[in-house]
Structures are given as C-alpha cells and as structure tokens.
Amino acid sequence: MKLMRVGPKGHEKPAVLDNDNNIRDLSSIVVDIAGQTLADEQISMLRDIDLSTLPIIDSNERIGPCVGQTGKFICVGLNFSDHAAESGMALPKEPVIFMKATSSISGPNDDIEIPRGSEKTDWEVELGVVIGKEAKYIDEKNALDYVAGYCVINDVSERAFQLEREGQWVKGKSCDTFGPIGPWLVTRDEIENPQALGMWLEVNKYRWQDGNSNTMVFQIAEIVAYLSQFMSLQPGDIISTGTPPGVGFGQTPQVYLKRGDKIQLGIEGLGTQTQTCI
C-alpha cells in the first residue's frame, strides 16, 4: 500500500493511493498515518478494505509528510563510500548517527526555505525507513520485521552550519523545511528488496545524483538493529539512511541552492518529490 497524509499543514488527513492513482480518504477508519496505525495488524486491516468504497480526495490537495507524530528523526551519515570520498571524510567503521529536529519535517512538494545567513544549502536524496513497532535490543536477522515501510527523503543540509561552526551536525540539518518526506509511505510488503532501489536528484533539470541503495556501507537491517542497542525505536520514528554521491558540497567548485532553484528527486517504487527554494 501507498499511505499518505493530505491537506493543509498541521491538518493533514490519512489517505491511501489506490491502483488507479486516486487518493482515497482513510479518515473514517484511522485517525492518522502514525503510531499504532503503523503496526502490522493495522496495515493488514487496511489492506483488506475495498478502497473503491472510500471518498476520493481532490488530486490538487497538498500532500503532507507521509508519517505523522514522529518522535525521532534519525540520520546515518557517510553511508555510501563514494559520498564519503567526495566529502573528504574517512569511511566509518560503524554507523555515524545524528538527528534532525522533527520541526524540519515538511511535505514532499513544499517549498524549501533557505535559512537566514545561509550560503551553503545543499541537497541529499535518501531512503527513509519508518518504524512500525517498538524495537529495543533487536537482532539484525529480525530487524526488517520492525519496519512499517519506506519513503523518499531530501536530507537538506546547510554545510557551513553543519561543518564550519562549532558543535555537532544537527544545527546544519534541522532548519525549518529541511526534511521533506513522502509522497507515500510504501508498506514493507511492496518493496521486495530495499537494498536494490535506484535513487536520483536533479536541480533545475540537471541530474546531480544517480545512485542505488545497493551501495550502502551499512544496510537497513544492520542500521535498525544497531540503533536499537542505544535507544528504543518507536512507531513513527524515521531513519534516513544516507545519500549517494553528487551533493553540491562534493563538486569542484562547490554548488549550492539559491532562491528560485527547482529540485526533483525520487527513489524507485517510492515516488518523487518536487521543491522550489525560497
């Protein structure tokens, strides 16, 4: 299934995309695409519904973040060897973990706000993993059982805030609108192999990133199990699993986003995003 949240910011309603690409309203069945709705039992219940009986939502409605009420937005840095190389950083021996503030989460097609004082706002297409049930001290062999589904993320980053100022990466990753998520949460059963998905990103129709999740240093099951050793993962938590090469920071000379730039990005089977920088 392709689960969605549709409507004005802060007032999104749960929805599902049917086989004819109609957006169907789920608000009579679930309160939100969040929390316990992400459990296997609830997703199985939704899968059994005759979607043709549900109201159609106007396709011109805003698409919101595909997951609501997210408690943690966790990111894995330098998880593609060629991206680590273009960043001039050593390949990590274990996953590099940092957080994005949940206030950075936005809809997949919402504008990206270049923050005040920024000269180095950058892009990163990433595969998002959404947790479906509590995971604590789990084994890698069972880790994907705790995943509700997958989505597209643009891990927007301000490189000067991230790398040139004191402290941790989080302040260069957490500006408002720096976490577009969606358009859909594609449930786990629809993605046969999350480690074989094409990933791409374009700015003003020029393709900067063209990679595949099969080149991750640490694969998804390993990441989920690893994180569960340090913190419990809760339904609705989002893990952004790293970016392939082609970010602006890695170019010679470096290239960064400016007002009016148009970004398009997507992942095989998970949909596309389109953003304008303001």
Please state the φ and ψ torsions of residue 73, each to the nearest 5 degrees. -120, 100
* Of 19 and 84, the one with more pLDDT: 19
pLDDT of residue 167: 83
pLDDT, average across residues 200-226: 97
Q: Where are the domains of the chain?
A: 2-57, 73-276
- Considering only the top CATH level, what class is 73-276? alpha beta
Burial (CB count within 10 angstroms: exposed 0-12, middle 13-18, buried 19+), residue 120: buried
pLDDT of residue 85: 75
SS3 at position 258: coil
Summarised one tens digit per residue, pLDDT across range 27-83 is 999 999 999 999 999 999 999 999 999 999 999 999 999 999 999 999 999 898 777
CB atoms within 10 A of CB 239: 24
pLDDT of residue 91: 81
CA distance 4 to 15: 5
Assigned token pair, 77: 């840095």
Q: What are the residues facing 128 on neighbouring strands?
A: 151, 240
pLDDT surpassing 80 at residue 201: yes
* DSSP assigned state of 249: G
pTM here?
Answer: 0.96
Summarised one tens digit per residue, pLDDT across range 130-170 is 999 999 999 999 999 999 999 999 999 999 999 998 888 99
DSSP secondary structure of 166-217: SS-THHHH-STT-EEB-S-EEEGGG-S-TTS-EEEEEETTEEEEEEEGGGBS
What count of Cα atoms within 13 Å lies in the side-chain half-sphere of residue 49? Answer: 22
pLDDT surpassing 80 at residue 226: yes
Q: Are 187 and 277 in contact (CB under 8 A)?
A: no
pLDDT surpassing 80 at residue 255: yes
DSSP secondary structure of 40-84: HHHHHHHHTS-GGGSPEEPTTSPB--SS-S-S-EEEEES-BHHHH
pLDDT surpassing 80 at residue 86: no
pLDDT of residue 100: 98
Q: What are the residues facing 212 on neighbouring strands?
A: 198
| 173 pLDDT tier (thresholds 50, 70, 90) | very high
